[in-house]
Each structure stands twice: as C-alpha cells, then as structure tokens.
Amino acid sequence: MQAQEARAADPLPPAHARSLYRAMLTARLIDGEAIALQRQGVLPAYVSARGQEAAQAGSAAALDIERDFAFPTYREIAAALTLGVDMVGYLASHRALWHGGLYDPVASRFGAVNAVVGGPVPHAVGWAMGERLAGRTGCALSYFGDGASSEGDVHEAMNLAGVMRAPVVFLCQNNRWALSVPNERQVAGGSIAARAAGYGMPGVAVDGNDVAAVYRATRQALEHARSGGGPSLVEARTYRIEPHSTSDDTSRYRDPDEERQWRERDPVARLRAELGEAGHTDDTLARVEREARESAERVRDGICARPEPDGDDLFRYVYAEPTDELARQWRAWREEAAP
C-alpha cells in the first residue's frame, strides 16, 4: 500500500468557496490581533497559524458536525472558527484564563486545546473506538504536526487504529519545521503519508495551501471511515510562516529566501484570486473582507474584556476530592493572597 500524491482538486461550489474564504481570512485577522495582544502583554504567549489556514479550514469543513468530532493541538484557530467555536472562549486558553479554553467542546464538536505534542492523536482514536462500540457512525479528525509524527504516542495510536479499524482521520499539517528542526532531519524517508502503509491504512499527501484539495481529501477519508474501511492518514503539506511561537526566533535557523517563497504561496491570497477568477465580484469580496475585520475586532475586544479567573480555580479542579496536601497548599495560597 503506497502513499498517494493527490491531484489538483476541482474548484469548490461558489458559495462553499466563499464561506471558506471568510473563515480563512477571519482566522488570519484574529491571528494577527492575537500576536499584537501578546506583544502588548495581554496574552502571555501565542502560537500563530498563519499560512496553515487552508489545511485547517478545508479539513474542518469536511466534518459532519452532528456526529463527528475534531481533536486539535494548540494551533488550530482556523479549524475552530470553521466549526463555529466561540473565538473569545478559544483564545481564553492563550490568555491563560482557563486551561483548554472557555467554550463547550461537546456542542462545538471541537475538543479542548491540547498543548501536549501528539496528545490529540490517542484521544481521537479512543473516541472513534467508542463510537464504533456504541454502534454510532461518528468519525474523529485528529490534528498533529510533522514534529509530533515522531512521537511514540502517535505511532501507537495509529497502529491501534489500524488494527481496530477505528473510524478516524489523521490530519498531519506538515509545516516543514518541528520547531527548529527541518523535515529532512526528523522524518525518515521524507514522507509522513508513506508511513500509513505500515499501519494498514491509506495515506495521501495533498497541497496544504489548496483548500479544495484538503477538503476533498479529508471528505474522502471520512467517507472511507464511515463505511467501515477504517482509518486514513492525510498529509497536508504547507508552511509555518510565523515563528513556532511568539518566543521563537526563526532567523536563527531558517533561510529568509525560503520564507519569502512560501509567503508568495499564501493560501488566503490564493483563494481570493481563485474566487475572482470564478466570477465573484470585487464588491462581494470586499463585503466579506469587511465582515472578517469586524469579527476579528470583536474577538480582540472580547478577550481583552474577559475578567481574570478566580484564583481558587488553581486548586478547585485538580481532583474530584482534594487530597490533604492539596488542601494544605490551598490554605497557604489563600493566606498569601489575602489583602
């Protein structure tokens, strides 16, 4: 079983393409606001998704939100927005107001923000196996990066999914850099999709900057899983334009020419150009862009206005029943925090 290189996807229906453009652009603008908020000290840290909007929005749009479930990392802002997650609640995790975010994962079908490298993958497999055992038809979509693909948890989860034929789609956003380590130094063989053969599942590599290609590949993988065919691996080949996080410095390990070349392949600008070629008027696109800016500004203002959490929350939700040691620390904290 060989990994496939997906051909260029046919254009999406006009209304669908325009909806994805709105989601991708809004995510891009919120991303920019979040970086600015981190520089202003509002967010303690932030991880940008700039350049990966097509991989995220295209894959999330393929889900059936009535029955499927997405398991994100800490970078899936465009996927969250596409699935209708409350973006102020989503960014609450980046402002350190609440671990995992202040939104309802069950209602949105989008799991809590997960900062463990490779962590969402075994979670997705477990959920998918539960769906199958319960006789339901839901599928899991698990996000992870090229760096996470080298984690043991990811290999174990994929192997289990292959053996159990779990209805899960593994979506790897290969953004070329595992923090400061390039693909060629951490992905043996050069292809993550090719690893699928070792787990008895189909694997496909797609242009991760082509939203239509990602959407159709994910949709096909979901149909394969829903029909009883088991898991699939989709490798969306894209690029992380910004640093790994706001504390990273790409000038220490990346070639500026490489960054420039990938900026010229920007997925948001690419989709806008395709919409124009398909006959969408400048007025229509200008309206979408104005609404995207207004949405981003509302999210920015909303996260700034969120109140600080109750300090007791540091202790309240650690155990179902607090231990003696936790109770002691809780009392000590209250004494120190008292005015």
* Domains of the chain, residue spans: 4-308, 309-339
In this model, does residue 190 exceed pLDDT 90? no
Percent of the chain past pLDDT 70, that is, above it, reads 97
Q: Give the residue-averaged pLDDT of 238-263.
A: 96
Q: Give the residue-averaged pLDDT of 188-194.
A: 93
* Residue 309 pLDDT grade (very low, low, confident, very high; cuts 50, 70, 90): confident
What does the pLDDT look like over 40-81, one tens digit per residue? 999 999 999 999 999 999 999 999 999 999 999 999 999 999
Residue for token digits 């130094």? Answer: 185
* Residue 290 pLDDT grade (very low, low, confident, very high; cuts 50, 70, 90): very high
Element (H, E) at 128: helix 120-133
What is residue 148's DSSP assignment? Answer: G
Cα end-to-end distance, the chain, whole Å = 66
In this model, does residue 204 exceed pLDDT 50? yes
The confidence score (pLDDT) of residue 100 equals 84
Element (H, E) at 155: helix 152-164
The confidence score (pLDDT) of residue 11 equals 82
In this model, does residue 271 exceed pLDDT 50? yes
Whole-angstrom CA distances from 253 to 35, 110, 178, 180, 266 are 21, 33, 11, 6, 21
The overall longest dimension of the chain from CA atoms, in Å, is 67
Pick the CATH number of 4-308 from 3.30.1330.10, 3.40.190.10, 3.30.750.24, 3.40.50.970: 3.40.50.970
Q: Give the residue-averaged pLDDT of 122-126.
A: 98
Averaged pLDDT of the chain:
95
d(CA 37, CA 26): 16
